[in-house]
Amino acid sequence: MKFSRILTTSLVSLALLAQFGCDSGDSQKVAQTQANTQEVIKAGVCPGPYRSLIEKFIKPELLERGYKVEVVEFTDYIQPNSALDGGDIQFNLMQHQTYLDNIVKEQGLKIKAVINVPTLGLGIFSDKYKSLDAVQDGAKVGVPNDAVNLARALRIASEFKLITLKTLNKEQKASIADIGENPLHLEFIPMEAAQISRSLDSLDLGFVPGNYAYASGLDYSKSLGVESVQEDIKNVLAVKSDEEKLDKVLLEIVKSEDFKKALNADKDFDAFSRPQWWNK
């Protein structure tokens, strides 16, 4: 009887071990299968805060929906749209609606906006001056050289009474030639947006788009002026024009209460202007 009880106990133990082994193996197989079935997608960004926005708030939600996200950082505004149009990436976050509309019109790219997101405005920075009132005659001013952001910088310069524009009704197409009054004889120097923050030691003023200001560690509390971000220049998530599935998924994520609550709780995004739809 004693031997029988020992044998029975041993058989039960072996059965349990076998069952545990099978469960463990099955779990590993399920996990591996899930990993293998995840769709890998790439997101394009430029230097700045929008990589962080994707990785903190969008990437985890996409992972839950079966997408594994790889973030690709580009050094200028042109490559992320070319890569999206060519299928090398599946979505990007680095431009506002007006810039996207312009690039689609000028280059015929097949891309579209999904939704706009909280956006950090363009700031006026200087290593030399602490206020715009102190700016001297003939000061050198760095501005973005792409058409949309150049017009944006000039509009802000006019709002801060540094210049006037001849084309007040067409500010999005304003260029250096459209400057009317320039009482301080400011010298506007168009340059790559990414270079402006790095050139402040050789400039008197720099109009720096928010993403590059953030990437360069510029302190907005010390800026000489900050843009009031209009709705059409809040940054947008963009996908290919014929994309429908990912379009809907991204829209669902960004408009969710979880997304809004998580971003509102993160102090890194306090200075970002919220879209009009945010509190609806």
207 and 144 Cβ atoms separated by less than 8 Å: yes
- Would you put residue 106 in left (φ > 0), alpha (ψ -120 to 50) or beta? alpha
- pLDDT of 75: 87
Q: Is a pLDDT exceeding 50 seen at residue 274?
A: yes
Q: Is a pLDDT exceeding 70 seen at residue 251?
A: yes
In angstroms, how far is the first alpha carbon of the chain from the final one?
A: 76
- pLDDT of 152: 87
- pLDDT of 12: 45
Mean pLDDT of the chain: 87
DSSP string, 258-271: HHHHHHHT-GGGTT
- pLDDT of 233: 86
* DSSP run (H or E) holding 92: strand 91-96
pTM exceeds 0.75:
no
Q: Which of 122, 88, 115 is nearest to 280 (CA)?
A: 115
Q: Is a pLDDT exceeding 60 seen at residue 31?
A: no
Distance, in Å, from the CA atom of 264 to the CA atom of 273, rounded to the nearest integer, reads: 11
Domains and CATH numbers, the chain: 38-120+232-269 (3.40.190.10), 123-228 (3.40.190.10)
pLDDT tens for each residue of 2-13:
444 444 454 445
Q: Is a pLDDT exceeding 60 seen at residue 27?
A: no
Q: Is a pLDDT exceeding 60 seen at residue 259?
A: yes
Bridge partners, residue 239, by sequence: 112
pLDDT tens for each residue of 44-103:
999 889 999 999 999 999 999 999 999 999 988 899 999 999 999 999 999 999 899 999
Bridge partners, residue 41, by sequence: 69
CA torsion, points 200, 205, 208, 214, in degrees to nearest 10?
50
pLDDT tens for each residue of 201-210:
999 999 998 8
Q: Is a pLDDT exceeding 90 seen at residue 16?
A: no
Distance, in Å, from the CA atom of 19 to the CA atom of 125, rounded to the nearest integer, reads: 66
Measured at the alpha carbon of residue 117, what is the angle toward residues 112 and 121, in degrees to the nearest 5?
110
Bridge partners, residue 141, by sequence: 188, 205
262, two tokens: 């998580």
Contacts of 80 by beta carbon, 8 Å cutoff, 6+ apart: 44, 45, 46, 74, 89, 92, 94, 95
175 and 126 Cβ atoms separated by less than 8 Å: no
104, two tokens: 């689609």
pLDDT tens for each residue of 146-185:
887 898 899 999 999 999 998 755 445 788 999 999 999 9
Q: Is a pLDDT exceeding 70 seen at residue 234?
A: yes
- pLDDT of 113: 98
Q: What is the mean pLDDT of residues 26-31?
A: 47
Give the β-pairing of 225-226 and 123-125: antiparallel
97 alpha carbon, distance to own chain's centre:
12
Residue type, 62: L
User: Among positive and negative, which fits the CA dihedral 56, 61, 63, 68?
Assistant: negative
pLDDT band at 270 (very low <50, low <70, confident <90, very high): confident
Question: How large a percentage of the chain has pLDDT more than 70?
Answer: 85
Q: Would you give the DSSP letter of residue 1?
A: -
115 and 250 Cβ atoms separated by less than 8 Å: yes
Contacts of 177 by beta carbon, 8 Å cutoff, 6+ apart: none
